[in-house]
Amino acid sequence: MPVFLTTADPGFDAAFQTLLGQKREDAEDVDQAVAEIIADVRARGDQAVIDLTARFDRLTLTPETLAFSRGEIDAEIARVSPEDRAALELAADRIRAYHERQKPQDESWTDSAGATLGWRWTPVSAAGLYVPGGLASYPSSVLMNAIPAKVAGVERLVIACPTPEGKVNPLVLLAARIAGVDTVYRIGGAQAIAAFAYGTATIAPVDKITGPGNAFVAAAKRRVFGRVGIDMIAGPSEILVIADADNDPDWIALDLLSQAEHDESAQSILITDSPAFGQAVAQAVAKRLETLERRAIAGASWEQHGAVIVTRDLAEAARLSNRVAPEHLELCTADPEAFSRQITHAGAIFLGAYTPEAIGDYVGGPNHVLPTARSARFSSGLSVLDFLKRTTLAKMTPEALKAIGPAAERLAQSESLEAHGLSVRARLDRLNG
């Protein structure tokens, strides 16, 4: 059974802290193994990637077959039904339209001293996107990672998508084609991250790596950060639903299960101001678990990490939500827009009973790559900005340097950085001579 908590109970705070402190990430200590894989790829390049792919994915490759050929991709995507293609294209159009609005503007102005200041946005030159393979092979993740990069103007866009035993998801390759990906490599794991970060004879290094993966991928991204940029270290998926009694318990149950079915480590939480409604949702979850295809995974997630929390009122629910800082937050209340103004920490908010989180996973438009493990307290979901860099601009006229240069010289002297001050003083002396 999931945890049932009531804020009116004396022991609530301690129980809630225990819930927040649950370690849901993979407990396996993989860091040393990942360090050895990265070192191997740096030393042996292609051959290390090929050997590790044979070992972990049971797939024999050569430098020439590390990537799918255009003909192979054409053959695979020809297997996609017209209905699936149409759904992917609709999703791509909506994701692209949403992210186009995120593009920031360059700025330039002249201040009161006569100095011209501003900034300019430029894309990273190359990005590598990681797409999990096997059972967790999601074409939607291709669109969510690749489209913002293309909107940002990234010149070279490549994907690593493992194909265990050569098994390919045609929808992943079609999504890559629709999104404008240049190359799809059939490799995965820490070796793919290392190849993207350091390069091999066949795989050119990139500037930024994004996309979800298992514990090995997460550990590898953490280790190569600094050599390349990364989006985030993603943990297990999570959803928090705040719902009043004027909702269908079965709808809310399905929303909770939509994340529970991802992974046994996923977490689904309901917060409600109605004890009876909380019980009704828990009963609906139990009923759905009798027939759900992924009931073993979803059931384990709900049993080990699920929770139903009853609050005194919805304002208290909002305060608890901000402490959770969930990846996905559904607000199923009478006025979700007004209620959302009480929310300060959430990766993505879904407003109203007719906006299930699953819409956001596929066709809503906003990105579904979101901060997990309470990191929404300080970070945001993937966006166009993740593939852009801001460069500041400054231009001094002689008059501007006369106006503000002496202050710079003075501050340099206070920090005992003589050459700093002299570099300003030399120019001021010329202007005053």
201 within 8 A of 180, measured Cβ to Cβ? no
CA distances from 287 to 4, 290, 294, 297 (A): 18, 5, 14, 15
The candidate with the shortest Cα–Cα distance to 60, out of 156, 166, 131, is 166
**∠ at Cα 85 (80, 89), nearest 5°?**
155
Q: Is 327 a catalytic residue?
A: yes
Which long-range CB contacts under 8 A does 10-17 form with residues at least 24 apart?
A: 16/309, 16/320, 16/323
388: tokens are 């852009």
The helix/strand/coil state of 5 is strand
If you search the block for the tokens 């045609």, which residue do you land on? 170
Residues facing 393 on adjacent strands: 118
Is 345 noted as a catalytic residue in this protein?
Answer: no
Of 99, 262, 305, 328, which one is the catalytic site residue? 328
Nearest to 390 by CA among 102, 104, 98, 101: 104
Cβ atoms 257, 289 nearer than 8 A: yes
CA atoms within 13 A on the CB side of 257: 25
Of 327, 330, 357, 368, catalytic: 327
Residue type, 34: V
C-alpha–C-alpha distance, residues 307 and 163, integer Å:
36
Strand-pair partners of 108: 118
Chain centroid to Cα 368, Å, comes to 7
Hey, which residues are catalytic here?
Answer: 327-328
